[in-house]
């Protein structure tokens, strides 16, 4: 499980960073999205991986690190997803505005030589 998660984060982050440095605005958006997936998984992983453990206490049952997983990273990741999603949407709008002004999808507004 640890291996799958770390490889997943690595692949997401690697592809995201590569796309971030590409000259097309669409590639940059996808790169930022992939990067934020990697970050979200990373936050999740920082609560330590536990399988089949609930993050929320049940009524009348005492909780502990042996039976429960850390709920805080899950709350953090939720916030991060929402903010990241909103920012990507905003960025898409700016991308369209830029496209409208310059007529192409290069990040600098004109084709490089």
Residues that bind another protein (CB under 8 A): 20, 25, 28, 32, 35-36, 38-39, 42-43, 45-48, 72-73, 76, 79-80, 83-84, 86-88, 90-91, 94-95, 97-98, 101-102, 107-109
CB of 103 to another protein, least distance (A): 10
Q: Read off φ and ψ for residue 88, nearest 5 degrees.
A: -65, -40
- Report d(CA 68, CA 91) in Å as an integer: 38
The DSSP symbol for 55 reads: S
DSSP helix/strand/coil, 42 = helix
Residue 32 beta carbon to another protein: minimum distance, rounded to whole angstroms: 5
Q: How far is the CB of 52 from another protein (least distance, A)?
A: 21
Rg of the chain over Cα atoms, rounded to whole angstroms, equals 19
Decide whether 48 or 58 has the Cβ nearer to another protein: 48
């Amino acid at each position: 499980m640890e291996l799958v998660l770390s490889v997943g984060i690595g692949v997401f982050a690697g592809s995201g960073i590569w796309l971030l440095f590409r000259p097309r605005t669409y590639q940059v958006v996808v790169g930022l999205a992939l990067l934020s997936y990697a970050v979200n998984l990373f936050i999740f992983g920082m609560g330590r991986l536990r399988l089949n453990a609930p993050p929320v206490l049940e009524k009348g049952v005492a909780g502990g690190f042996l039976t429960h997983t850390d709920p805080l990273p899950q709350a953090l990741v939720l916030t991060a997803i929402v903010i990241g999603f909103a920012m990507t949407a905003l960025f898409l709008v700016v991308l369209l505005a830029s496209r409208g002004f310059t007529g192409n999808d290069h990040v600098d507004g004109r084709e490089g030589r």
